[in-house]
C-alpha cells in the first residue's frame, strides 16, 4: 500500500504512517456489549445475553488460593501432634499385642503348674495303695520262690540228663550223614592195636561195610590181613575189632557212655542209678 501523505513538506514513510494510525486509532467501547445483546437470540432461540454470560464465566480465571508459609512454631506444633498421635497408636497396638501374648503365656504357665500339682497330688494319694500292692506282690513272689528252691536240684539233674540224651541224638544224626566218620573210627581203633595189625577182624554196620570196601582195595586189605565182616547190630559210625589175643569195642554207644558219664559225674548224677 502506498501512502501519499506528507508532513512538514516531506513524504511520510510507511513505518511512520503505521505508527501515526495506531496512535489515532479509537479504542472500541465494549463495556455495554451485553446491552446490545438484550432481546436478541440465535436461530435456535437461545438468548445471546445468556450465552455471553456463560462464556464470560468460563473465561474468568479461578481465583488463586494464597499460600501462606508456615512458621517455625506451627511446624513444630504439627510435628509434636504427629508424634503424640503415633505414640498413642503404637502404645495401643503394643498393649494389645502384649495383652494377647501375656494371656497365652499365663495360660501355658498355669496349665503346666496345674499339671505338675495334679501329678504330685495324685502320686501322694496313690502312695498308700501302691505300697500295699508292692507288699502283696513281694509276699506272693516269696511264696512262689520257696517251691522252686526245693525242686531246683532235681530240675538241674533232669536238665543235665536231657542234655546228655540230646547229645546222643545229635551224635547219631551226625554219624548217619557223615560218611567219613567210620574211617576216623577205624584209624583210632587200629592205632590202639599197633604191632597187632595182622589177622584183624573188623565188624561193621552194613552201610559202613560198603563204604570201606569201596575205599580200600581188596589187595590192600589182604596185605594188612584185615577181614571185613557185616554186623547189623553195630550202629553206623561204630565198629568192633577182634585179633588173636585182644579185641576193641569202638561202638558209638560205648564212646558216648564214657563221655557222658564224666559229664554226669561232674553234675553229681550217678549214671548207673539213673539207668537202673
pLDDT digits (tens, 9 = 90+) for 63-80: 666 656 767 888 888 888
d(CA 29, CA 128): 124
pLDDT at residue 198 tops 80 = no
pLDDT at residue 203 tops 60 = yes
Q: Taking the model in full, what pTM does it have?
A: 0.36
Domain-by-domain residue ranges, the chain?
A: 85-151, 178-275
Strand 200-204 vs strand 10-11: parallel, antiparallel, or unpaired? Answer: unpaired
260 with 274: CB under 8 angstroms? Answer: no
Identify the band that residue 13 occupies on the pLDDT scale cut at 50, 70 and 90: low
Q: How many other β-carbons are positioned within 10 Å of the β-carbon of residue 92? A: 10
In CATH terms, 178-275 corresponds, of 3.30.2320.30, 3.30.365.10, 3.40.605.10, 3.30.1360.120, to: 3.30.2320.30
Q: How far is C-alpha 142 from the geometric centre of its chain's CA atoms? A: 46
pLDDT at residue 143 tops 90 = no
The single residue listed with the C-alpha cell 502506498 is 2
Q: Is 10 helix (H, G, I), strand (E, B) or coil?
A: strand
Amino acid at each position: 500500500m502506498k501512502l501519499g501523505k506528507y508532513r512538514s513538506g516531506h513524504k511520510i514513510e510507511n513505518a511512520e504512517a503505521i505508527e501515526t494510525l495506531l496512535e489515532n486509532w479509537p479504542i472500541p467501547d465494549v463495556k455495554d456489549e451485553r446491552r446490545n445483546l438484550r432481546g436478541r437470540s440465535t436461530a435456535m432461540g437461545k438468548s445471546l445475553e445468556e450465552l455471553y454470560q456463560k462464556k464470560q464465566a468460563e473465561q474468568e480465571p479461578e481465583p488463586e488460593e494464597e499460600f501462606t508459609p508456615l512458621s517455625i512454631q506451627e511446624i513444630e506444633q504439627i510435628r509434636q501432634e504427629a508424634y503424640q498421635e503415633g505414640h498413642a497408636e503404637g502404645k495401643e497396638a503394643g498393649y494389645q499385642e502384649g495383652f494377647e501374648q501375656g494371656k497365652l503365656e499365663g495360660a501355658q504357665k498355669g496349665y503346666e503348674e496345674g499339671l505338675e500339682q495334679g501329678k504330685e497330688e495324685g502320686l501322694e494319694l496313690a502312695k498308700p495303695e501302691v505300697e500295699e500292692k508292692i507288699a502283696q506282690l513281694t509276699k506272693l513272689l516269696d511264696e512262689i520262690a520257696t517251691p522252686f528252691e526245693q525242686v531246683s536240684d532235681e530240675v538241674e539233674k533232669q536238665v543235665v540228663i536231657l542234655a546228655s540224651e540230646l547229645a546222643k541224638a545229635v551224635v547219631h544224626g551226625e554219624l548217619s550223614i557223615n560218611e567219613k566218620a567210620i574211617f576216623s573210627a577205624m584209624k583210632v581203633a587200629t592205632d590202639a592195636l599197633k604191632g597187632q595189625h595182622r589177622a584183624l577182624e573188623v565188624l561193621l554196620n552194613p552201610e559202613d561195610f560198603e563204604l570201606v570196601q569201596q575205599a580200600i582195595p581188596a589187595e590192600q586189605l589182604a596185605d594188612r590181613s584185615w577181614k571185613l565182616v557185616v554186623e547189623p547190630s553195630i550202629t553206623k559210625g561204630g565198629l568192633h575189632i577182634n585179633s588173636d589175643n585182644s579185641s576193641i569195642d569202638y561202638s558209638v554207644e560205648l564212646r558216648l557212655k564214657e563221655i557222658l558219664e564224666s559229664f554226669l559225674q561232674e553234675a553229681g548224677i550217678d549214671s548207673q542209678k539213673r539207668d537202673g
